[in-house]
Amino acid sequence: MIHFANDSSTQRNIKESASFYRQQRTEELLNRYEVLDYKNVAAILRDRGGLYDEDIGMGNEKALNQLIAHHRVVFMPEKRLIWVSTNPYQLGAFVAYDLNEVFSEYPNLSDDREIKVDSLTIVADPFLKTEEYKKYVEFCELKKHLQKITKLSRVEFDKMEHDKALRIQEINPQYYRAYELAGDLYKARTQWDLAIEAYKQALDLEIATLKERRNIEIALSECLEAKKQEN
């Protein structure tokens, strides 16, 4: 019999991916409740922190809520109740449905029949109304922009690019990707000192996977070597 916990692929995944970290965070949060209800479960699914409540940056793959997923579902099997999250990023309300009612009327359930249970709705996450959420939306926009302009075969480095690289670090300061993205831009523009500093800052933060850490280390080494060759 194969014990998957000891399987080489499983062990490699534990070591190199973010999955085991998220499992640990899940267990940490579960242990805070003597009894779990549907609201507690939703709160756990929405959690954006790291182990021991560390701030690991908004959007980190190691968080339970990486601020990328379309939806999450909560089940209460014994009562046949289900909650489905709404946009954005599972932060909207969790809408409740009574599956007893759904199954009792199927297949004659009309398209305009409202079957949600309003009294059991889990309200939207207050995070949606915060300045931090606005910063995350801005971060996502800057991320796309920086990735796009980094690929341009332009040599000069202008003030607008520099401002955007600084801004993405400022609005998500605990997320390694903010510094990596800035470093990639600096590297593409041969701004070795700025790139080196950005990559070093990224390596000091909670990086999601071993592969990503190695990629940043390689980029840093390339910048160090390029600077050395210029001098």
pLDDT in tens, 114-163: 788 999 999 999 999 999 999 999 999 999 999 999 998 777 789 999 99
> Structural domains in the chain?
4-125 (no CATH), 131-230 (1.25.40)
Q: Which residue has the tokens 């182990």?
A: 51
Q: Find the DSSP H helices in 50-158.
A: 99-105, 131-150
Q: What confidence score (pLDDT) does residue 69 get?
A: 76
- Check if the beta carbon of residue 193 is closer than 8 Å to that of residue 74: no
Mean per-residue pLDDT over the chain, rounded: 90
15 pLDDT exceeds 80? no
**Residue 105 pLDDT greater than 80, yes or no:** no
Percent of the chain with pLDDT over 70: 89
Gap between the Cα atoms of 217 and 8, Å rounded: 25
**E strand or H helix at 24, and its extent?**
helix 19-30
Predicted pLDDT at 101: 83
Q: What is the dihedral of CA 60, 70, 137, 131, to 10 degrees?
A: -80
On whether the CB atoms of residues 204 and 87 are closer than 8 A, the answer is no
Q: Which of 25-29, 148-152, 181-185 has the lowest mean pLDDT?
A: 148-152
pLDDT tens sequence across 39-69? 999 999 999 999 999 999 999 999 999 999 7
Joined tokens for residue 9: 């692929």
pLDDT at residue 75 greater than cutoff 70: yes
CA distances from 47 to 38, 63, 208 (A): 14, 7, 16
* Whether residue 5 has pLDDT greater than 70: no
Residue at token pair 């949060």: 29
Which pLDDT score is estimated for 82?
Answer: 96
Following DSSP, what letter does each residue of 180-229 receive, concatenated? Answer: HHHHHHHHHTT-HHHHHHHHHHHHTS--S-HHHHHHHHHHHHHHHHHHHH
Tell me the average pLDDT across 160-184: 97
Q: 33-63 as b/e, with b when 16 or more CB fall inside 10 Å?
A: eeeeebeebbbbbbbbbbeeeeebbbbbbbb
Overall average pLDDT of the 183-211 stretch: 97
Q: Which residue(s) pair with 82 in the sheet? A: 75, 97
Q: What is residue 1's predicted lDDT score, i.e. its pLDDT?
A: 40
Q: What is the predicted pLDDT for the residue at 62?
A: 97
> Roughly what angle, to the nearest 10 degrees, separates helices 176-188 and 192-203?
160
